[in-house]
Structures are given as structure tokens and as C-alpha cells.
Structure 1
């Protein structure tokens, strides 16, 4: 496959970084460099190094992706800007997939380096379904990000699913509570459905199959159909039937109508605390 994605430097190749890199590699990624101390290999013409010191001297990325732990962000930026300022000389867009790290804090970390640079920074919040190409990524562009760089970010993150740009950075915290944390809410529902089925006498294997296939099938239907979620629910819910009986329990004022907004608000509150 001829490269149609430009060379990039991926700093950190854990679960999320690895999922992103795999998708990019399958979509024609130009020879790139991955920094990771635990990964054993990368495919094709790409290079795996253990530290910034080992990056090939002539390598010049169009994109730098920061996918390290948030608490290591400042140290990583300082090391990158101090040891290899040439990697930033051509103005690559910096994409952060680190939770809680604002564009302002990242810009401040770069400004505190000897180079004192002010790079183009984009904050990205992909979710775990990105690992299977069904991700949802929220994006926010800091200052100095060009239209071409935004389009490039759309292309890169679009390789693992859908993308949406936030008008204000605080909206990333809301997105985090919905699509970032959202898969855990769905997994919890699958877990509870499985437990309920076992409690009613089904075997664990059958209960798991029913719960998983029901949720993944409903999700696919929701994705493909033009109706909104409320209409799809009504389509399944015959008056006086079994579904209506169950929905009446879930829809009681103190159940889902109260707990879901409360859970989302709690996640947003925590996201803002981490970004403070």
C-alpha cells in the first residue's frame, strides 16, 4: 500500500497508542518512529526505539503523538525539546491523547523548555472501541493549529472511527464522560444482564452469549438506522408486553432517569478536577 499518511513520532505505545498505530499502519503510514520501552517490535519500515536518544538523526515527523501517562507529560516534553529540538523545527502538529492534560498546560510545558517553542497542539480523546475501528474521538485545537493540520488530525483519528471537534476545551470533559467512559457503562450493562440471566437459571456461557450479542447487535442497529434511540426503543416496546414491563422498572424516577445523569455529572466533575 502506498503511503498516504505522513511520517509520525509516536511517544508511548500502550493500549491506546498501540491501537492507533495499528490502524495507521494498515492505512498506509509512511515510515515512522515509535518510542516505547515495552513493545517488542513494530511492522514494516517503521522503527522502534527505547528512548528519545535513539531516534534516527535524519527523521523529521509531520506529527508528534504524545501517548504517555499524563503525569509523565512535562518530563517527556522537556526531554523531547531539549535533546531533539530538530524534531520540532518543521512545525509538526502535536496530538495529545493524554487524559487531563489541557492544551494550555502542554503549551506551557513546551514554553518552559530551552527552545521556548509554541507548537500547534491538538487534544484528542479517543475511546477504547478505537481498538476495533469503531472509536469515537473528540478533538480540540489549541492556538497555532492550521486548517491543514486539523484536516490531518481528522484523517489520523478517523482511521479508528468517528471524529468530532469541540468548540471549547471544557467540552472535552463532557465528551470524556459520554464516549470516553461510556464503553464502561455498556460493559456494566452486559455484566448485569449476564448476572441476571444466570440468576434466572441459565448457564454462564449461554448468559454471556445472550448479553453480548444483544448489546453488540443493538449497537449496530442504532448505528445503522436513521431513527433516534427513543424511537428504536419504542419500536421494541409493545404496550403491555414483556419489554414494557422491564422498561417500567428501569424508567422509574429513581432508577435510570436519575442515575444516568448523575453518573455522567460525576464523570465530568472528575475530568475537570484532573484537568485543573
Structure 2
């Protein structure tokens, strides 16, 4: 099923977070902000940043406990290349009733089940960089054994850092990677290109950079807060025969931004498929 998980989502009674780097740390901060008691959480990370250690201590989160109990949910947020080395220690923590949520790029549900043999309910998710400020966009897919209440729990965990979209099947994760996973880089490039165009038009580099940065950030915030579609917002700021219309005539030409973006997303999707294979 696509779209948000139905029904009321609830955070788990016990949770182990494996990996407390940028993404894992963002998730933990989101859960704590959403009211998850720190006493329900254990964090496994051999080299936590000082700020993460302080956060755990301040909220009563167990950091690297000697023998954590089998949790209701286990969230994998380590680097994908670290899964093989960590799997032996993690496998005993995962029982047939444990929900496993993975944000490891390129690691399929089958990969995870191979390394965590007792796992049945597995959710593979692809968040993006703005999760670090709780403005992320995440695509998620669940194994067939995942029960509806476990999907709701996974939704609550992932929603701690932003929007969650449920996918019909895991095969769509590569498309999510190409659109929203890599998408922030496309937006940052737009800001770079807009600033460079401003310099070419005669603006000082510092002025062009600040104007471009704030324009992209402000337009993104407006898009996030407005109920209108992106196309409607675009039309709202485009006067017939005006300056914006002149620029859009270039960007919306047959060889303009849309086919270029389509090719870029297709290239990212192909690479995601290669890496997962």
C-alpha cells in the first residue's frame, strides 16, 4: 500500500538503534522530541560523537549496553559497508517478533534477512539529507510478513524526521533514491547555477550567492507551507509577457529543465540498481 500508514502510529516499547551518526542521530533526536522516553532506547555505536553521548546521558538512553535485551524494534543506521561486520553481534537481538527498520542504502530486504536469520518483519527505508533538520522525505517498503501494527510503528519511527511515503514494492526504492534521496544535491546545484548566472548578469559574486541561496531556501519553504501544487505556485508568480515568463520560456523548452531532470533521475536510478545488485 502506498501513502501514509493508516491508523494511529505508536513508538515502540523498546528500541535498539544501531549507528548514531548523522542519520541515526537525527532519528534519535526526532524520537525524543516526539516524546519517546529515553529509558526505552539503547544505542549501539562504538565511536559516538561527544554530542551524541551527551544527548544519551541527558535523556537516560543506554549507550553501548553490555547485553541489550531483544527489542520490539531495531533500527539499522550504520554505513552499508559495516553491515557484514556488525551482523554477527546483532543477529541474536532480532527475534521473529522484532521489527527491523533499515536506512542502509543499497541493502535489500533479502540482504537483511540473510544476515539476521530470525528477522521476519523488515522495513527498508530511504530517507534524505534534510532529515537532519526534521524536514526529510522518506520512501519505505515492508516485507510481506510485516503486520499492520508493525508498519504503523515503522511509520512513527521514520516520521520523526519528516514525510514518509509507503511504496507498493521494494523495487521502487531505487526510484525514491533517484528522486528524493539524491534530490537535495539537485537543489543545491540549482542554487549554485543561479548564483553563477547572477554573476554572469553583472552581480558581485557574494551578492549573487546570497540572493540565490535565499531564493531557493525561501521558495522551498513556501512550497512546504503552501497547500498549492508546485505548478500553481509557478503560475502565480508568472505574469504574461513578464521577466519570469521570459526565463521560463527557456527552462520549459523542449530541451529545457524537464527532460534534463528526467535524464538525471534515470541515471541515478540505474546507478542505484547497479549498487544494489
TM-score, normalised with respect to structure 2: 0.87
Find the counterpart in structure 2 of residue 179 from structure 1: 180
**Equivalence for 1:52:** none
Partners of 1:62 and 1:91 within 8 A in 2: yes
Partner of 2:107: 101
Q: Over residues 9-45 of structure 1, what are the superposed CA-to-partner deviations in whole Å (9 max), with x where a residue is unaligned?
A: 1111111111111111222223212122332313320
Structure 2 gap ranges (5+): 1-9
Deviations 1:122-160 (A, max 9, x none): 101111111111111111001321111110111111111
Q: Secondary structure of the residue that 2:35 maps to in structure 1?
A: coil
- After TM superposition, the runs of 4+ consecutive aligned structure 1 residues lying more than 6 A away are none
Does the 8 A contact of 1:5 with 1:27 survive in 2?
Answer: no
How many pairs does the alignment contain?
Answer: 260
Residue 20 in structure 1 maps to residue 43 in structure 2: no
Instruction: Quote the offset at 1:58 in angstroms.
Output: 5.4
8 Å CA contact 1:10–1:17 kept in 2: the answer is yes
| Larger RCO of the pair (alpha carbons < 8 Å, separation 6+) | 2
Which residue does the alignment assign to 2:218?
217
Alignment counterpart, residue 38 of structure 1, candidates 47, 51, 61: 47
Q: Are 1:156 and 2:157 counterparts? A: yes
Matches of 1:201 and 1:8 in 2, distance apart? 55
- Please tell me the root mean square deviation across aligned C-alpha atoms, in Å: 1.9
Q: How high is the TM-score relative to the length of structure 1?
A: 0.87
> Which residue does 1:48 correspond to in 2?
63
Measure how far apart 1:179 and its partner are: 0.9
Tell which deviates more after alignment, 158-167 or 34-43.
34-43
- Cα distance in 2 for residues equivalent to 1:109 and 1:57: 20
> Contact 2:175 / 2:269 at 8 angstroms: preserved in 1?
yes
- Show the 5 A alignment for 1:73-152: 73-81=83-91, 85=92, 87-89=93-95, 91-111=97-117, 117-152=118-153
> Whole-Å Cα distance in 2 between the matches of residues 258 and 216 of structure 1?
24
Q: Does 1:10 align with 2:17?
A: yes
Aligned counterpart, 2:4: none
